[in-house]
Structure 1
Amino acid sequence: MGEFRPVPDALDYLAGSWRVERSVRDLAGGEDGEFSGTTVFSPLDGGGLLHHESGTFVWRGVPRPAERTLRFLPGDTPGTADVRFADGRPFHDLDLTSGRHIADHPCSADRYRGEFTVRDADHWRTVWRVRGPAKDLVLTTDYAREDRTTGYAREG
């Protein structure tokens, strides 16, 4: 895949609005879907970023509105993030200081493994491989910056 761009501060890098294009491949069933929309990382009171994604998901030819919300909080190590679901449950860690990060998330009997890669100042990608008794998926998401926010809210 080529070179990765190191990011000294994940939250600062992510702040702003991103165009999102995602492919979803069901390896077990042989079906494909796609998501197209926007992800906005906006400052949270007390530090971190609120991640809100919205757009259209097309599966089996049927388009549906789709959205999700996550919280990207400052991690234990400077420049990293602790990613949580909207309700506060842990999701995964995120360290982009090398430009690439692997994260794991167990979910009941399923295992999610994500690879995050930074291509340049305005493009990054995630690839989630999901395996479980009833799942065999690959979700590939490309992000392209639309607008930059001037940093994230830091605890003061």
Structure 2
Amino acid sequence: MPSPSESRRQDPAGRHEGGFWPVPDVLAHLAGRWCVERTVRDLAGGTEGRFEGGTVFRALDGGGLLHEESGTFTWQGVARPAERTLRFLPGPRPGTADVRFADGRPFHDLDLASGRYVADHPCAADLYRGEFTVRDADHWRTVWRVGGPAKDLVLTTDYVRED
């Protein structure tokens, strides 16, 4: 039974203050198929692109998940196929993940125990800062702000669990 303070902080749908959905086991939560929509805004140039597709998080031998994303990216009216692969490995604490690129290079940590997490990834002279928020069992979002001498972007991705 939740304490009185916990009852005040959590709404009937299970969300905590701020509208975040706590996730005690990030790998179990992400497993499966998700529909993906992403906008990419170039703040310097004022242009915007869009990605539409899907992501599958499937079990890896030895633990963790393979994240395979594919779809269509449209930029300045030109649509082209796009895909990426990441590895979500068990993190240093229960319920966390160590996110890596397909080739094994480190990307960022992930801990959604509170339903929200901020991660940084330096890439050459640019800095990627990602905010991960879980709205409920079937919806989550990432917002990456990319800044530096080469880039000035905001990438917003919405994930909706497939049936």
User: Do the structures match in fold with TM over 0.5?
Assistant: yes
Match of 2:42 in 1: 26
8 Å CA contact 2:39–2:156 kept in 1: the answer is yes
Say which SS state the counterpart of residue 50 (structure 1) adopts. Answer: strand
Shift of 1:20: 0.1
Deviations 1:94-137 (A, max 9, x none): 00000000000000001000000000000000000000102100
Deviations 1:58-106 (A, max 9, x none): 0000000000000000000100000000000000000000000000000
How much identity, in percent, do the aligned residues show?
Answer: 80
Q: Which has the larger radius of gyration?
A: 2
Higher RCO structure (Cα 8 Å, ≥6 apart): 1
Match of 1:139 in 2: 155
Q: Write the mapping of 1:7-156 to structure 2, written as runs, cut at 5 A.
A: 7-147=23-163
**Structure 1, unpaired ranges of 5+:** 148-156
Distance 2:79 2:103 in 1: 27
Distance 1:73 1:15 in 2: 12
Distance 1:57 1:112 in 2: 20
Structure 1 or 2: larger helix share?
2
Distance 1:95 1:128 in 2: 16
Say which SS state the counterpart of residue 29 (structure 2) adopts. Answer: helix
Give the TM-score of the pair, scaled to structure 1.
0.93
RMSD: 1.0
Structure 1 or 2: larger strand share?
1
**Structure 2, unpaired ranges of 5+:** 1-16
Distance 2:78 2:18 in 1: 35
Work out the number of aligned pairs and report it.
147
Say which SS state the counterpart of residue 13 (structure 1) adopts. Answer: helix
